Structure 1
Amino acid sequence: MTLPPDFTLLQVVPELETGGAEQTTIDVAQAVVRAGGRALVATRGGRMTARLEADGARLAQMPVQSKNPLVMLGNAARLVDLIRREKVSIVHARSRAPAFSALWAAQSTRTPFVATYHGVYNAKNKLKRWYNAVMTRGDLVIANSNYTRDHVLAEHQLDPGRIVSIPRGVDLARFNPSWVTPDRVVALRRAWGVEADDRRVKILLAGRLTRIKGHRLIVEAAALLKAQGREDFLILFVGDPRGNADYLAEVERAIADAGLTGQIRVVGHCDDMPAAYLVGDAAMLPTTKPESFGRTAVEPQVMGKPVMASNHGGVTETVVSGETGWLVKNDDPDAWAAALGRVLDAGPGRLAAMGQAAANRARRLYSVDTMCEATLAAYRQVLEARA
């Protein structure tokens, strides 16, 4: 995909710690640089900034994560200065709070404004609906799944011509089983205390340690499974608590109280997720609330692992039940215990076959290159419409 001459993209995201919106920010910045453009990211910063700058993008550090009105006004002024100084072609906001500053700056400088609806935001009153609607006030809205697109259309009565669905993408070079060296898998096994001769079925739940990810649900389901006399499984909770120390303690206490310390381990943040998925035989995403897309249901499939996921939200588009994984009734411990039992009974051959089907489909539909090409095409569409 070619870009107009002197194209400069400014993305605005609260921080670059970890998460789907943050990864997509880095992916699109890299694509712009590769296509001959310049990429700027206004953000508070975070552990992913080194990767951003290594790809040739530039960091504009400012407190855009703040919801303080005075700070937001200050951010708007900083963004106006940045847009004018760098001759920004398009402003792309990826979160609501910084979107207000970014929209004001874009309107002040008459710069095209794009926003990605990364989540299905709750709106229990008119004020919250107005707050959420900031993401729809620009030239174009990008939805990260058809599920999200349908929600935006229903919630905001948006002209369908002003919204496009672009599913998130996975880096097929990074998430490639053939390119993960055995020593990386061994290192994680050692760090997590998984013995080389452990023949139990190992299942990963990857993602931030937050309540909606369903860790407590899985503890309940695993307890039901153990009550049936089954102990042939090891569940690994892989993710960063990031300010959720109370919830981490709650999960660890629930594991201990259920007598599951031998079957469930909380292993913390992992920087090598491709290798992490190869430690496991399957993965799961038991969210208690719908995910707008659910990257951690797609990444393991790309790595050849079948996935169990709650039967709601964007994952209903990415997981084909019975073929690439299993869709399980939401927030139902009995249903999840039964699903876990099916995984344990499937056997290595069946799991491998489903994993291969998952990899074939996910690599075809959800590559980062496909996502970036569609995003750059959307930028061109916006610029042409403005012209």
Structure 2
Amino acid sequence: MTLPPDFTLLQVVPELETGGAEQSTIDVAQAVVAAGGKALVATRGGRMAARLEADGGRLAQMPVQSKNPLVMLGNAARLVDLIRREKVSIVHARSRAPAFSALWAAQSTNTPFVATYHGVYGARSRLKRWYNAVMTRGDLVIANSDYTRDHVLAEHGVAPEKIVTIPRGVDLDRFNPNWVTPSRVAALRKAWGVAEDDRRIKILLAGRLTRIKGHLTIVAAAKRLKAEGRDNFLIVFAGDDQGRTGYREEVEQAIRDAGLENQIKLVGHCDDIPAACLLCNLAILPTTVPESFGRAAVEPQVMGRPVIASAHGGTTETIVEGKTGWLVPADDVEAWSRAIARALDAGPGALASMGAVAANRARQLYSADAMCAATLAAYERVLDARA
């Protein structure tokens, strides 16, 4: 994709810690730099900031994560200054609170404004619906799945031509089984205390430790499996509690109460998800509320691992029932125990065959390159419309 001369993109995201919106921010910044443009990211900062700068992007640190109206006004002024100083071509917001500051700054400088609807936001009041609608007030709305697009159309009455679906992408270089060395997998085995001769089916739940990710459903399902005499599995919960120590303690207590200390491990944040996928035989995504896209269901598939996921949201688009994984009713402990039992009965060989089908499909549909190319094309469309 050829960008206009002197193209400068400003993305605005609360922080660069971990998550789908943050990863997409990094990917698009890298694509803009590769295409000859400049990529700026206004953010509080975070552990992924180093990757942004290593890829040639630039960090503009400011408290855009704040919902304090006075801080938001201050952010708008900072963004106006940044837009003028750097001659920004497009402002792209990826979260609601920063979107207010970004939209005000874009309107003040007559700069095109794009927003990505990364999640399906609930709205129980007119005020909350107005707050959510800030993501639709610019030149173009990007939805990260058809599920999200349908929600935006129904919730905000946006003209269909003003919203485009661009599925979230996976970095096929980073998530490439051939490039994950045995030493990386061995390092995770050692860190997680998984013996090399452990022949149990290993199941990965990658995601921050928060109630909506469904950890307690899996603990309850594993308890049923153990009561049936099944113990040939090891479930790994890989994710930060991000300060939610109360929930972490609740999960740990549930594991102890069920006598599952040998079946479920909490391993904390994992920097090497590709190696984690290879260490395990399959992945699970038991979210209690719909994921707008569900990157944690796509990354394992790219790595050749089938996925069991809750049957709602974007995962109904990314998983083909019975072919690349299984879809299970959310919060249904019995259904989840049956689904995991089905995977255990299938065994490593059948799971690997299913994973190969999953990898072929996911690599075709959900590459970061495809996502970035579509995003840059959306920028071009907005600039042409303004011209």
AA at the equivalent of 1:113:
F
For 2:158 and 2:142, locate their aligned partners in 1 and report how far apart those are by CA, in whole Å. Answer: 12
Q: 1:32 matched to which residue of 2?
A: 32
Identity across aligned pairs (percent)? 78
Q: 2:180 matched to which residue of 1?
A: 180
Note the alpha carbon deviations across 1:193-218, whole angstroms, 9 max, x for none. 10000010000000111100000000
For 1:80 and 1:349, locate their aligned partners in 2 and report how far apart those are by CA, in whole Å. Answer: 57
For 2:286 and 2:330, locate their aligned partners in 1 and report how far apart those are by CA, in whole Å. Answer: 7
For 1:160 and 1:351, locate their aligned partners in 2 and report how far apart those are by CA, in whole Å. Answer: 40
Deviation at 1:76, TM superposition (A): 0.2
For 1:148 and 1:376, locate their aligned partners in 2 and report how far apart those are by CA, in whole Å. Answer: 20
For 2:244 and 2:372, locate their aligned partners in 1 and report how far apart those are by CA, in whole Å. Answer: 32
Note the alpha carbon deviations across 1:57-93, whole angstroms, 9 max, x for none. 0000000000000000000000000000000000000
For 1:355 and 1:284, locate their aligned partners in 2 and report how far apart those are by CA, in whole Å. Answer: 13
For 1:227 and 1:158, locate their aligned partners in 2 and report how far apart those are by CA, in whole Å. Answer: 51
Spell out the pairing of 1:1-387 with structure 2 (5 A cutoff).
1-387=1-387
AA at the equivalent of 1:251:
V
For 1:330 and 1:257, locate their aligned partners in 2 and report how far apart those are by CA, in whole Å. Answer: 23
For 1:277 and 1:246, locate their aligned partners in 2 and report how far apart those are by CA, in whole Å. Answer: 28
AA at the equivalent of 1:62:
M
For 1:350 and 1:182, locate their aligned partners in 2 and report how far apart those are by CA, in whole Å. Answer: 22
Deviation at 1:258, TM superposition (A): 0.6
For 2:245 and 2:160, locate their aligned partners in 1 and report how far apart those are by CA, in whole Å. Answer: 42
For 1:207 and 1:167, locate their aligned partners in 2 and report how far apart those are by CA, in whole Å. Answer: 19
Deviation at 1:233, TM superposition (A): 0.4
Deviation at 1:168, TM superposition (A): 0.3
Deviation at 1:329, TM superposition (A): 1.1
Q: What is the CA RMSD across the aligned residues, in angstroms? A: 0.4
AA at the equivalent of 2:247:
Y
Q: Secondary structure at the match of 1:326?
A: strand
For 1:15 and 1:168, locate their aligned partners in 2 and report how far apart those are by CA, in whole Å. Answer: 18
AA at the equivalent of 2:150:
D
Deviation at 1:182, TM superposition (A): 0.1
AA at the equivalent of 1:67:
K
AA at the equivalent of 2:156:
H
Deviation at 1:349, TM superposition (A): 1.7
For 1:200 and 1:349, locate their aligned partners in 2 and report how far apart those are by CA, in whole Å. Answer: 13
AA at the equivalent of 1:370:
A
Gaps of 5+ in 2: none
AA at the equivalent of 1:308:
I
For 1:346 and 1:163, locate their aligned partners in 2 and report how far apart those are by CA, in whole Å. Answer: 42
Note the alpha carbon deviations across 1:83-120, whole angstroms, 9 max, x for none. 00000000000000000000000000000000000000
AA at the equivalent of 2:329:
K
For 1:273 and 1:221, locate their aligned partners in 2 and report how far apart those are by CA, in whole Å. Answer: 24
Deviation at 1:260, TM superposition (A): 0.4
Note the alpha carbon deviations across 1:346-387, whole angstroms, 9 max, x for none. 012210110000000000000000000000000000000000
For 1:5 and 1:354, locate their aligned partners in 2 and report how far apart those are by CA, in whole Å. Answer: 46
For 1:326 and 1:141, locate their aligned partners in 2 and report how far apart those are by CA, in whole Å. Answer: 31
Deviation at 1:330, TM superposition (A): 1.2
For 1:140 and 1:341, locate their aligned partners in 2 and report how far apart those are by CA, in whole Å. Answer: 45
For 1:243 and 1:24, locate their aligned partners in 2 and report how far apart those are by CA, in whole Å. Answer: 24
AA at the equivalent of 2:308:
M
Q: Secondary structure at the match of 2:111?
A: coil
Gaps of 5+ in 1: none
For 2:318 and 2:360, locate their aligned partners in 1 and report how far apart those are by CA, in whole Å. Answer: 12
For 2:215 and 2:348, locate their aligned partners in 1 and report how far apart those are by CA, in whole Å. Answer: 25
Q: Secondary structure at the match of 2:138?
A: coil
